[in-house]
C-alpha cells in the first residue's frame, strides 16, 4: 500500500472523473494524479484527448486509464465503475463532471 505524505495525500486512492478527457474534467484528473491518486477518466467521443491525458499523467509517474462511457447511459456508467475497480483495484473518489443534454420542448 502506498504511503500517504503531505506532498501526495491521495497516494493509494483511486478516482473516477466522468467527462475527464478535456476541459475542467482533465484539469481535475491532472490535479488528482498530482496528489497521488490513480485516475480513471471517462469520455464520450474524445478518444484521442483521453489517450493524450492518460499519457501525460503516466509521464508524470501517475497511473491513469481512459474509459469510453456516455454519462447519459446508466449501464455505460455502471460498466465504467466496474472497469475502474477491476483495473485499479478500488474506487475512493467520484467526480461527476460530465455534462449531458436531454433535448426537450419548452
Q: Is residue 100 part of a domain?
A: no
E strand or H helix that includes residue 38: strand 38-43
Q: Is residue 66 part of a domain?
A: yes
The pLDDT mean for the chain works out to 93
pTM reported for the whole predicted model: 0.88
pLDDT of residue 87: 98
Domains contained in the chain, number: 1
Q: Output the domain CATH number for residue 87.
A: 3.40.50.720
- 30 is in which domain, residue-wise? 14-95
- Give the cell for residue 76: 455505460
At 99, the pLDDT band (50, 70, 90 cuts) reads: confident
| CA–CA distances in Å: residue 95 to residues 4, 34, 58, 106 | 21, 16, 20, 30
pLDDT of residue 100: 74
Q: Is residue 104 part of a domain?
A: no
Q: Is residue 105 part of a domain?
A: no
Tell which residue, 50, 39, 46, 42, has the closest CA to residue 18. Answer: 42
Q: Is residue 88 part of a domain?
A: yes
Q: Is residue 20 part of a domain?
A: yes
Q: Is residue 39 part of a domain?
A: yes
Amino acid at each position: 500500500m502506498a504511503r500517504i505524505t503531505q506532498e501526495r495525500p491521495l497516494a493509494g486512492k483511486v478516482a473516477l472523473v466522468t467527462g475527464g478527457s478535456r476541459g475542467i474534467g482533465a484539469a481535475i484528473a491532472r490535479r488528482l494524479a498530482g496528489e497521488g491518486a490513480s485516475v480513471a477518466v471517462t469520455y464520450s467521443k474524445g478518444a484521442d484527448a483521453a489517450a493524450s491525458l492518460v499519457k501525460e499523467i503516466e509521464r508524470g509517474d501517475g497511473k491513469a486509464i481512459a474509459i469510453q462511457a456516455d454519462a447519459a447511459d446508466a449501464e455505460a456508467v455502471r460498466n465504467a465503475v466496474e472497469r475502474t475497480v477491476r483495473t485499479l483495484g478500488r474506487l475512493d473518489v467520484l467526480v461527476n463532471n460530465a455534462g449531458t443534454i436531454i433535448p426537450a420542448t419548452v
